Chains A and B, each alone.
Chain A
Amino acid sequence: MILIAERINAGFKDIAEALRERAKGPVQEWARRQTAQGADYLDLNIGAVSKEPSDMRWLVEVVQEAVSTPICVDSTRVPVLEAGLDVGDGRPFLINSTTADPGKLEQVVPLAAEHGAGLIGVAMDQRGSPQDVDRRVENAAQIFAVATDAGLAPEQIFLDPVLMPVRHMQEQGPNVLEAITQYIMLSDPPPHISVGLSNIRSGTSEKKLITSTFVAMAMARGLDAAICDVMDDVLLNVVATAELILNKEIYSDAYLRAFRMKRGSS
C-alpha cells in the first residue's frame, strides 16, 4: 500500500500560518513525523488561501531540506504544480492531480511526462463529480489513454475513483468499489488506484472506524494507494492486516511491527 501523507496542507491552520510567515518549523516537523510513520509520499498542498507558485516552491524546498521522502505536489493550478516540480532534487515526485477534463489533461499530462513524475488522475470531468460507475470508468479510461499515449507507464498512473462522504452520499460507496474492480482491468500490470481517504469520513462520528473499514474493503478490490492520515495507527494496523490477508506479506505474530519496520518507521 502506497501511503501519501496528507498533513502538510494549508487547509490546516499551522501550515497556513507557516506558509504565510515562511516558518520552516511546523512544515519540517510534519515532514519528519509523517516520514517516521512510514509515509511513502508527502502530499504538499498550499490550500485555497494561496494561488502563488512561489508558495509551493518554498514548501518543496523546505521539505526537501528535512527529509528524503518522495513528494506529492497537490494543487488544482498547473503553474503551482510546475513550480513544485521545478525545484525537485531528483527524488520521485507525484502530481496531484489531473481530471479527465481535456483542457486539464492537455496541461498536466505533459508535465508528468517531462518530469518523469507519477500522476494522480481523478475520475472527474468538466461536468463535475461522477455519480455512477460508468462515468467513473469512462473518465479514468480517458485519463489512462492520454497518459499512456504521452509515454507514462501504467505504474506511473494513479487512478482515483472519487471517494465521497458516506454521511451525505451513501449510494456512492458501492459505485466507488465497483469502479476499482474495473480499473484494475485497464492494463497488465494495472495502474495504481488511489483515493483521498479522508473524504469518506467527513461529518461522521466514527471517523477512524469508517476510514479503516473502507480501506480494507477497497484493498480487497485492488486499491493500493491512499492520501491519508498516516498518524492514524488504527488505519496503519488495518492496512497491515489487509496486506496480510491478501497474501502480500508473510505472517508473523509481530506482523504489525514488521509492517512498520518495512516502512522504516519505529
Chain B
Amino acid sequence: MEDKLLNESYEQSFTKHIIGAGRWTLLLSVPLCFLPAIYLWIRYGALPPLGSILTGWFLIASIYGSWYIVEPISYFPILGLSGTYMSFLSGNIANMRVPCAAVAQEVLKVEPGSKKAELVATIGIAGSIITNLIVVTLAAVAGNELFKYFPPIVVKALDFVLPAIFGALFVMFSIKYPKYGVFAIGIGMFLLGVVKVLPTWAIIPICIFTTIGYAVTSFKRKNKADQSREV
C-alpha cells in the first residue's frame, strides 16, 4: 500500500515533469541547431542549393540513420527515463554519461534500476553535463592557447582514456555479476572477431539485448530454484 502511494507521488512529482521538460528541451534544440547555418544565409547569402542539403542529408542518414533509433532503445535500460532525455540532448553517452551515472550509483550504493538509482543517476549526469559545458566553452574560447601547454606525452596518453575507462567499468559490474560479464565479453568478441560482417549499429543492440536475455533467463531460473527449495 505504502509502495503504491510512493509510486504515485513519484509518478506525479518526477516522471511527469521529466517527460514534459525532456520533450520540449529536445524538440526545441532541433530548430536552434540550425541558427548558425541560418546566420550564414542571412548575413552572407550562403545558402547551399536545396539539392546539396538533401544529398548531404541522404549521405549522412545512410551512415547514422539506424543509430537515431537503435541508440535510444539500446541505452534506455542503462540510462532510464531522465538519463535518456539528458544523454540524447547532451551526447557523449558511452564515454561520459553512462560512466558518470554508473559511478554515482556505485558511490551512493543504490540498487540499479530502483527509483533512488534513477535520481542519483540524474544528478550525476547533470554534474557531468556541467563539466562538459565548462571545458567545451574553455576550448572554444582559448583552446589553441591552452593546447600549447599539453606536452606530447599527455596528448598521446589521452588516446587511452576510453579503453581504460571501459575496462574499469566492465570490471566494476563484472564483480557483481561475473557470469553475465563473461557472457557479455564472449558475445562481443564473437561478433567482432568471428562474425565480423555486422555493422556497428547492429552489434551494440545485439550485445546489450542478448546479455539482458541471458541475465534475465538465468535470474528467473535461479529464482525458481530458490522458490522450490523454500517449498
Co-assembled chains A and B:
no
